[in-house]
Every structure is written in structure tokens, then in C-alpha cells.
Structure 1
Amino acid sequence: MDDRRVGDELDIAALLHRYARAVDTKDWELYRSVFTDDAHIDYSSAGAVVGSRDEVVDWFAANFGVIAWSLHHITNIESDISGDSAQVRAMFYNPMQLPGMTEPSFCGGYYHHELVRTPDGWRSRRLREENVWFANGPGQ
């Protein structure tokens, strides 16, 4: 593996870790920094918003505050890098405290990112969350 590939892999992992921190700390400006201005984001598999980066930020700002805490773990990052673009698949595990629940809830699945290299580093231009399972959710 060459030095550029190793650097790209580390930078991509750092981007995904920044994404997790942004969501968990509800830092929507940090969240914006993960994506390109024209990004498309799809959280429909979790019953949430689909739209542009700014539409998603607005939705999160209005709705995510009711979640007392969440702790995203992003692992098993697989990057198919081709020049200045990359297809990335990463697993997530997310314990959280939902409103009205006495015990934590948990979900897991995959993040599918289309990344582009920008002058400011790697950014996601497309994210699709694939929520595979949910435990102790509302109504369960």
C-alpha cells in the first residue's frame, strides 16, 4: 500500500469519526463540515429525513434535541478510492436514550458514502444510512 493510499484511508476514517462526534454532540456546524454544499443525505431507513445537507441540518436541529444522548461507533470502514473520489461502506452501532424510554435503545447498520476530495480534504457528497436493526425502540 502506498503512502497516499494510507493517508487517504486515515483521512476518511477521521471524517467518519468527525461525523459521529457532530451527531452525538449536536454540533450542526461540524456536521455541515463533513459534507459538500450540494450533498444529498438519506436517513429514510431509520424513518428520518431525506434531503440536502441544509434540509437535514434543519430537521436535526428541530428534532434531535429530544434524544438525551447518543454514542455512535463507526467501524469496519471499507474505502474503494479512485483518484479524487471514494465509495465508502462503514458499520455503525448506536446506543441512545430516546424520550419516554427508561432503558437505552440501540441500532446498527451501515453508512454508504460517496466521497470527493476537495481543497479542504475528503467530504461526503452522498450519504445513505442502511439501518439493519433496532432494539428497544418506541413501541417495541
Structure 2
Amino acid sequence: MNTSALDGFDVIHVISRYFQFCDAKDFDGMRSLWTDVVTVDYGGVFPLEGQVEADALKRTMAEVIGPIPLTQHMVTTPVADVEGDTATVRFHLEALHHHPDLGRDERTNDWTLYARNVIGLRRMPDGWKVSSEHLTLVHQTGNTDFVSDLMRLAAGRS
């Protein structure tokens, strides 16, 4: 297949949809954007690493992100490099997470992470799909144990 001038726009559009689906808790929508196996490295902030089947990734996203009442993932300065049927999008990510049941203090129930993200994509017959994601944590504010605290809350432990 030929690389078109629109491929850069198309892969950035996939990334935008990915995080829109994440914030809307549309895990089927997220799954529709992944290859069947995705290589992930979330820099230690999410409980998955390595090659993960997309259905397992969807389940984990639903278990961890699903219960969070408010998330807002903001993607800035995306740069797309497309070569034939593969692409890489590099961008900065600011991700706000808020759960009021973790405590009365926003330092307990809020967590914001700032990261550099690199997402790899492959052109498939039905469009571009995310094949890898690598997050490098740059800074975080609020409750840095947010994910662990959520898991304890879900298990009924305080």
C-alpha cells in the first residue's frame, strides 16, 4: 500500500479517538482501535507490561479506569511519522484522574500524570490500529498511589 499525505492525519485521529473512548469509558471503542496483540509499557503506572492480547487489555482498562468517575486525557504536540504500513505518533500527555471515594482531600482523590507517549500503529484492512504504546512518566501530582488505592477500594479494603 502507498503512504498518502493523509496518513499522518489519520494516525493522529486514531490517537484522539483512543483517548476520547478512554474518557467516555467506551472500552469496546478502545478495543476497536487495537491490533489483536498490543505491546505495552505504561512506565509502571498501570498493571500491564509486554505483549498483551487486546481483549485482556480491554478487561484491565475496564477494571482499572472504569470505576474512576472522572478522567481527562489531554494529548498535545502530536508528531506522526508514517512509513508504508507502520506509523509512530509521539506526543505529550496530561492525564487527570479523580475519584471522590478515596478521601476527603484532593491530594487523596486526585492524581494527575504528565508523560511522553509513543504509540505505534499498523495499517490493517479496516484502517490504522494501535500495535504498541510506551509511556514515560515525567511528573505527577496528587495521590501517586491512586491506582493501588482504587484496587483496594474495589476489593473492599480501606
TM normalised by structure 1 equals 0.85
Gap regions ≥5 residues in structure 2: 147-158
**CA deviation map 1:31-73 (0-9, x unaligned):** 1111111222232431422233222211122222331110111
Q: 3-state SS of the aligned residue for 1:48?
A: coil
Q: Is 2:23 aligned against 1:17?
A: no
Which of 111, 114, 124 is 1:108 aligned to? 114
Q: 1:84 to 1:138 in 2, by over 3 A?
A: closer
In structure 1, what is the Cα distance between the partners aligned to 2:42 and 2:57?
9
Taking only aligned residues, the RMSD between alpha carbons, in angstroms, comes to 2.1
Higher radius of gyration, 1 or 2: 2
Matched with 1:37 is: 36
Q: Is 2:125 aligned against 1:126?
A: no
Gap regions ≥5 residues in structure 1: none
In structure 2, what is the Cα distance between the partners aligned to 1:96 and 1:62?
14
Q: 1:117 to 1:47 in 2, by over 3 A?
A: closer
Work out whether residues 41 and 56 of structure 1, in 8 Å CA contact, stay in contact via their aligned partners in 2.
Answer: no
In structure 1, what is the Cα distance between the partners aligned to 2:135 and 2:145?
22
In structure 2, what is the Cα distance between the partners aligned to 1:61 and 1:46?
15
Matched with 2:85 is: 84
Matched to 2:84, the amino acid is G
Query: Deviation above 3 Å: which 4+ runs of structure 1?
Result: none
> What is the total number of aligned residue pairs between the two structures?
137
In structure 2, what is the Cα distance between the partners aligned to 1:139 and 1:56?
21
Work out whether residues 41 and 53 of structure 1, in 8 Å CA contact, stay in contact via their aligned partners in 2.
Answer: no
In structure 2, what is the Cα distance between the partners aligned to 1:106 and 1:63?
15
